[in-house]
Structure 1
Amino acid sequence: MGRHPLLAVTGWLVAVAVATVVGLAAIRLIGDSITGTPGGCAAPGTSPRTSPHPRRRPPRRARRVPVRQPRPDGRHGGPRASRQFAVRGGSAVAECGPAGVWLVTWTPAPGYREGEVERGPGHEAKVRFVGPDGRAELKVRCSGGQPVLDD
């Protein structure tokens, strides 16, 4: 056997090894982002949150309320006056309507969690975030048909 065929076989084997390593790394990366578990697979009978890998738990997802659901006043669609507010512990989006103010979504800041929530609709709506620096409350009301922070 000559030198050229041996070189070609060696090159082919190196290319296969590199492609395999790159493919496995891509599968692991994609699997982690989809399931939140190493390798993309959860143990039978477990969800990604109860994975047998406690150090690789996915981050807690913030509670989000779908924007397309019916509004508290029963109407759908149409332009609505909404505004986003933020405090040390998180943020929220509020809207004003005939029934009062209500929270559309709220998201705790990193290190904080959702505490008490009074979504509305009503005279005021509020969400409390609890974290390492204590509690942070975001309270809103309507003024002139627009959501505003209530001190």
Structure 2
Amino acid sequence: MNRRTLLVAAGWLGAAVLAVLVGLGAISVIGNGLTSPETRPLSAAEVADELARQITGSPSASAGTGARPSSPPAPATTAATRTFPTRAGTVVGRCAGTRPEVVSMSPRQGYELHEQDRGPQEDDAEGEFRGLGDRADRVKFEIVCPGGVPTLVEDHDD
């Protein structure tokens, strides 16, 4: 009986080792793309370049490295776009001629998006961040387009 128990245990151990080896082989074959350099994190400069390319719709310097634009090229009348950091978050503004637009607003931790004008505006495009804990903590701003260049003007009236 003792010999039989030893033989069964050895069989189970062999089957377990074989199962682990087959699993590792399958992960090696299937997971080759999971650890390849194509999935490495982007640097801050690459993220900024990709965002600028997405917003303006024009190809960037990274397009020559094999990256393909995800949107068609911009029409002949391209809009000027700029990113503005504020104490409450980041604002991306654009000018299509003299018509300003708040493209996006990303609040910092502790703030939330309260107001945002959508689409191009006739005179100025406005937005507002508010503090989560202190609703009186506000950052209001306008995007204006003097000379077709987006400019952020913070509203300090509060």
Q: Which secondary structure does the structure 2 equivalent of 1:121 belong to?
A: coil
User: One-letter code of the match for 1:7?
Assistant: A
**1:136 partnered with 2:134:** no
Distance 1:8 1:139 in 2: 75
TM superposition shift of 1:77: 3.2
**1:82 partnered with 2:81:** yes
Q: State the TM-score, normalized to the length of structure 1.
A: 0.50
Over 3 Å counting, the alpha-carbon distance change for 1:94 and 1:16 in structure 2 is: same
1:147 to 142, 146, 150: 150
Q: Which residue of 1 aligns with 2:100?
A: 101
Q: Which residue of 1 aligns with 2:91?
A: 92
User: One-letter code of the match for 2:102?
Assistant: L
Q: Which residue of 1 aligns with 2:123?
A: 123
User: One-letter code of the match for 1:82?
Assistant: T
More helix by share: 2
Q: Which secondary structure does the structure 1 equivalent of 2:109 belong to?
A: coil
Query: How many residues matched?
Result: 99
Residue 98 of structure 2 contacts residue 147 of structure 2 at CA under 8 Å; is this kept in 1? no
Residue 96 of structure 1 contacts residue 147 of structure 1 at CA under 8 Å; is this kept in 2? yes
Q: Which secondary structure does the structure 1 equivalent of 2:145 belong to?
A: strand
- Encode CA deviations 1:21-58: one digit per residue, 9 max, x unaligned: xxxxxxxxxxxxxxxxxxxxxxxxxxxxxxxxxxxxxx
Distance 1:11 1:87 in 2: 63
Structure 1 unaligned regions, length at least 5: 20-65, 69-75
Over 3 Å counting, the alpha-carbon distance change for 1:143 and 1:11 in structure 2 is: farther
TM superposition shift of 1:116: 2.0
TM superposition shift of 1:84: 0.7
Residue 117 of structure 1 contacts residue 126 of structure 1 at CA under 8 Å; is this kept in 2? yes
Larger radius of gyration: 2
Over 3 Å counting, the alpha-carbon distance change for 1:111 and 1:8 in structure 2 is: farther
Identity of aligned residues (%): 26
Structure 2 unaligned regions, length at least 5: 24-53, 57-73
Alpha-carbon RMSD across the aligned residues, in angstroms, is 3.5
Distance 2:11 2:103 in 1: 63
TM superposition shift of 1:82: 0.3
Residue 143 of structure 2 contacts residue 151 of structure 2 at CA under 8 Å; is this kept in 1? yes
**1:7 partnered with 2:5:** no
User: One-letter code of the match for 1:122?
Assistant: E
TM superposition shift of 1:96: 0.8
Q: Which residue of 1 aligns with 2:112?
A: 113
